[in-house]
């Protein structure tokens, strides 16, 4: 009995043990199955990517960014082919370990290197590679060595390396047997042909080729293209597998952008903005726009001071006043101020900033009243120097008043009192209706980033209406103001400004065309024609006389607006919007000078002459023919012919036929030299010098300061210095006041070759603060 009980007990124990083993086996299987499920199903993407990361080397091929052109297909921003230098730390380490010096015993048998010897050899090899990379790529040696020693299959060392530098580096690495593990991949670098040319409009990119500002940002998706890839399989040591394991996906280059900008017009605009910035020392800079009034195409746009697109994070050395702001600053204060200056340089004042437009807005007030039939040519207004609106007395800029004046003269005189009278006829509801119709309640829609929105009254009272009539106590952008004046001039159509004409592929095939967009008809053609005659009268008879250009019919409007805070009465913005030619307006030019540091801050005195100089350059360039009146005959330019080598009699006859006076120096029979040289254009009252038997002097002369002089005195001073004068600006017969020199180029005190032409602009000393 006892034996049977013992056997049964053993069987039970074996059964329980087997059951427990089975349970644990099942549990173990479940755990393993669950883990496999987690690895292979639930989290498969993560581990697949990790495997791919360890088993492949993925190189990005940067596409060639599209070119930005001006309207005549002149390259403005291009991408040059460069090289990216990268390394495979694993390959370099493997090569370094294998570079250990082989030691042999007395019998010549190789002695296996120790681990310490291998590591020492590897470090020496890595240092040699790092030293060459740092030298040729101008990098920090220690940082480069750290990159080479990383536990990664691929590390980028440098981008945008010029091809010749990369070639020299590769040749040197191969020469010293250090090329293993170093790779070069085609890359591209953005290059701006003209440096600071149209800098705020074009914008720039970051190191990865992404647009940050201007057109580069606005059209980034068009320009950037599609990146390509090279995927290479690697072995357990991180080394490349044979070519069969490589996959190549080519990059797709970006499309090009053809802008509305004209390289020539942009050049002239920037030239004159730089001059007025220097002359006025404007604290907050200057800006200008040239626009086709019929299409809305921007031919030129600039803000000064600006920056070099190829070095956008460097403050240009010529802006000493900006650099002086950094003196005595250090640390965080220095960094903060430096960043503030750069952000201001990058801003496009024409559309990123708002201002009180001042008297250029009077174009809005008069055109609105005309369109609604509230006034006409015969309407008269009386200005006694001020007007009381409710309990507030608001002054005209002319303290004595303008007396009785007809409608066109209210614009010519830029009369604030007349504008207040006209706005009272319009009323707040109608005023707001046209304010919206002219586009001031919305962005213009220009294809550039960062456009600001104007600031207008939530509700208008009588005083608000009165001050708004002459452009005060609300804000708009310069581009909005120019768009309004262009609509008045072009027949009454508000068009959308734009800076891009076409999108083209890399072969120049047009992919997309940007057409003129007419938003709405604001005023009638008849009202537009009347306003154009009024605006021409502003230049011929009124506060805009300094915008006169010989041979062309120019119209426009002056403005001298206040700035916030109003407590500082010295802060002003001088501006002028010009139109030409007034028989059929085609082009509008706005110049705004923010806080000029001159005694006279009026738009007529400071901004109007700049617009005149711009028109004088761009109208002939754009093919608009000058038509001179009898009084302007002395302004026509004559090209000096080649006289050297001719007989004295033949040279004299040639000059007589051209209507040019001359003087002869020497008693030779032939002309041996001449001043000025052939090809120079001079006005008829300049005298040509014929050298007979001798050579003209080759020295340079100091340009005299002719500011404030009359035409006759300025010409005499320049002639005495051996220079010729080209007379620009207002003529004495057009003004009741004295016409004096207000601007000259080259500047006073500079040196110029004897016989050079000095351009002198003459104008009225307009004292209005309209």
Active site residues: 359
Taking the mean position of all CA atoms in its chain, how far away is CA 587?
A: 20
Q: How far apart are alpha carbons 377 and 538 in whole angstroms?
A: 15
Cβ-in-10-Å burial (0-12, 13-18, 19+) of 212 comes to: middle
CA of 359: how far to CAs of 415, 752, 769, in Å? 9, 40, 9
**Contact, 588 vs 290, CB < 8 A?**
yes
Q: How far apart are alpha carbons 651 and 664 in whole angstroms?
A: 10
CA of 510: how far to CAs of 70, 79, 253, 255, 514, in Å? 15, 20, 15, 10, 11
Q: How far apart are alpha carbons 663 and 418 in whole angstroms?
A: 56
Rg (C-alpha) for the chain, rounded Å, is 38
E strand residue ranges, 418-542? 493-495, 500-504, 510-513, 518-521
Q: How far apart are alpha carbons 131 and 144 in whole angstroms?
A: 8
Q: Are strands 500-504 and 510-513 parallel, antiparallel or unpaired?
A: antiparallel
Residue 744 pairs with which residues in a beta bridge?
Answer: 760
Among the listed residues 578, 648, 591, the one whose alpha carbon sits nearest the alpha carbon of residue 619 = 578
Residues 6+ apart with CB under 8 A from 299: 71, 260, 261, 262, 265, 266, 290, 291, 292, 587, 618
- How is the beta sheet containing 661-665 ordered, strand by strand? 661-665, 687-691, 673-675
3-state secondary structure of 731: coil
Q: How far apart are alpha carbons 391 and 385 in whole angstroms?
A: 17
Among the listed residues 349, 346, 269, 353, the one whose alpha carbon sits nearest the alpha carbon of residue 308 = 346
Residues 6+ apart with CB under 8 A from 362: 410, 411, 414, 419, 469, 470, 471, 557
CA of 386: how far to CAs of 383, 403, 409, 417, 591, in Å? 7, 11, 17, 6, 29
Residue 594 structure tokens: 């923010």
Residue 252 pairs with which residues in a beta bridge?
Answer: 226
Element (H, E) at 57: strand 56-61
For the beta carbon of residue 719, count every other beta carbon within 10 angstroms.
13
Q: How far apart are alpha carbons 504 and 165 in whole angstroms?
A: 32
**Contact, 760 vs 723, CB < 8 A?**
no
CA of 559: how far to CAs of 270, 287, 705, 720, in Å? 21, 15, 29, 39
Among the listed residues 665, 658, 621, the one whose alpha carbon sits nearest the alpha carbon of residue 642 = 658
Q: What is the DSSP string of 293-310?
A: TTT-BEEEEEEES---TT
**Contact, 752 vs 703, CB < 8 A?**
yes
Residue 257 pairs with which residues in a beta bridge?
Answer: 68, 503
Residue 752 pairs with which residues in a beta bridge?
Answer: 701
Q: What is the DSSP string of 532-548?
A: HHHHHHHHHHSTTGGG-
């Amino acid at each position: 009995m006892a034996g049977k009980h013992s056997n049964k007990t053993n069987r039970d124990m074996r059964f329980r043990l087997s059951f427990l083993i089975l349970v644990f086996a099942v549990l173990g299987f479940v755990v393993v199955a669950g883990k496999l499920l987690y690895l292979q199903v639930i989290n498969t993407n993560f581990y697949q990517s990790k495997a791919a990361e360890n088993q492949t080397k993925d190189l990005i091929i940067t596409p060639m960014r599209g070119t930005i052109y001006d309207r005549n297909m002149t390259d403005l921003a291009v991408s040059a082919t460069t090289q990216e230098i990268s390394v495979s730390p694993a390959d370099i380490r493997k090569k370094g370990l294998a570079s250990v010096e082989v030691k042999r015993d007395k019998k010549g048998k190789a002695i296996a290197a120790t681990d310490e010897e291998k590591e020492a050899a590897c470090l020496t090899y890595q240092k040699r590679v790092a030293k060459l990379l740092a030298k040729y790529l101008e990098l920090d040696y220690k940082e480069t060595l750290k990159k080479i020693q990383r536990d990664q299959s691929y590390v980028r060392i440098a981008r945008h390396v010029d091809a010749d530098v990369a070639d020299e580096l590769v040749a040197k690495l191969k020469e010293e047997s250090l090329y293993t593990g170093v790779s070069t991949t085609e890359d591209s670098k953005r290059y701006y042909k003209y440096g600071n040319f149209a800098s705020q409009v074009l914008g720039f990119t970051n190191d990865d080729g992404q647009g940050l500002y201007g057109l580069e940002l606005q059209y980034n998706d068009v320009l950037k293209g599609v990146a390509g890839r090279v995927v290479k399989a690697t072995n357990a040591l991180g080394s490349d597998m044979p070519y069969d394991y490589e996959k190549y996906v080519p990059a797709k280059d970006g499309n090009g952008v053809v802008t509305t900008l004209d390289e020539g017009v942009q050049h002239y605009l920037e030239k004159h903005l730089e001059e007025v910035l220097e002359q006025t020392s404007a604290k907050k800079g200057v800006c200008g726009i040239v626009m086709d009034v019929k299409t809305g195409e921007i031919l030129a746009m600039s803000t000064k001071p600006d920056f070099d697109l190829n070095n956008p994070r460097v403050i240009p050395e010529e802006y000493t006043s900006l650099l002086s702001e950094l003196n005595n600053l250090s640390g965080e204060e220095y960094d903060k101020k430096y960043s503030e200056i750069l952000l201001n340089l990058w801003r496009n004042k024409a559309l990123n900033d708002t201002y009180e437009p001042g008297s250029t807005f009077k174009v809005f007030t008069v055109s609105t009243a005309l369109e609604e039939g509230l006034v006409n040519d015969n309407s008269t207004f009386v200005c006694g120097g001020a007007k009381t609106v409710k309990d507030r007395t608001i002054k005209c800029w002319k303290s004595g008043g303008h007396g009785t004046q007809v409608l066109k003269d209210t614009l010519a005189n830029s009369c604030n009192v007349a504008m207040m009278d006209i706005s009272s006829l319009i009323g707040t509801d109608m005023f707001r209706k046209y304010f919206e119709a002219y586009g001031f309640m919305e962005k213009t829609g220009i294809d550039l980033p960062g456009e600001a929105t104007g600031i207008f009254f939530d509700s208008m009272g009588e005083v608000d209406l009165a001050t708004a009539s002459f452009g005060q106590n609300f804000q708009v952008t310069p581009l909005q103001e120019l768009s309004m004046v262009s609509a008045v001039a072009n027949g009454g159509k508000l068009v959308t400004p734009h800076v891009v004409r076409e999108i083209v592929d890399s072969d120049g095939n047009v992919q997309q065309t940007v057409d003129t967009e007419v938003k709405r008809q604001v005023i009638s053609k008849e009202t537009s024609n009347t306003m154009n005659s009024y605006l021409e009268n502003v230049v011929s008879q009124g506060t805009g006389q300094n915008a006169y250009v010989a041979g062309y019919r120019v119209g426009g409007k002056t403005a001298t607006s206040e700035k916030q805070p109003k407590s500082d009465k010295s802060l002003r913005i001088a501006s002028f919007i010009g139109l030409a030619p007034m028989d059929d307006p085609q082009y509008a030019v706005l110049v705004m000078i923010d806080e000029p540091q001159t005694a006279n801050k009026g738009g007529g005195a400071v901004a109007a002459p700049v617009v005149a100089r711009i028109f004088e350059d761009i109208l002939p360039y754009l093919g608009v023919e000058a038509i001179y009146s009898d009084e302007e005959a002395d302004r026509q330019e004559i090209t000096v012919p080649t006289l050297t080598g001719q007989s004295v009699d033949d040279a004299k006859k040639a000059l007589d036929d051209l209507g040019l006076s001359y003087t002869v120096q020497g008693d030779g029979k032939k002309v041996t030299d001449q001043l000025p040289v052939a090809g120079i254009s001079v006005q008829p009252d300049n005298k040509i010098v014929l050298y007979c038997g001798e050579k003209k002097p080759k020295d340079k002369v100091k340009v005299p300061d002719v500011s404030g002089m009359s035409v006759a005195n300025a010409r005499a001073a320049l002639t005495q210095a051996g220079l010729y004068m080209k007379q620009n600006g207002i003529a004495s017969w057009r003004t009741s006041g004295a016409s004096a020199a207000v601007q000259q180029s080259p500047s006073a005190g500079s040196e110029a070759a004897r016989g050079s032409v000095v351009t002198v602009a003459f104008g009225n000393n307009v004292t209005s603060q309209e």
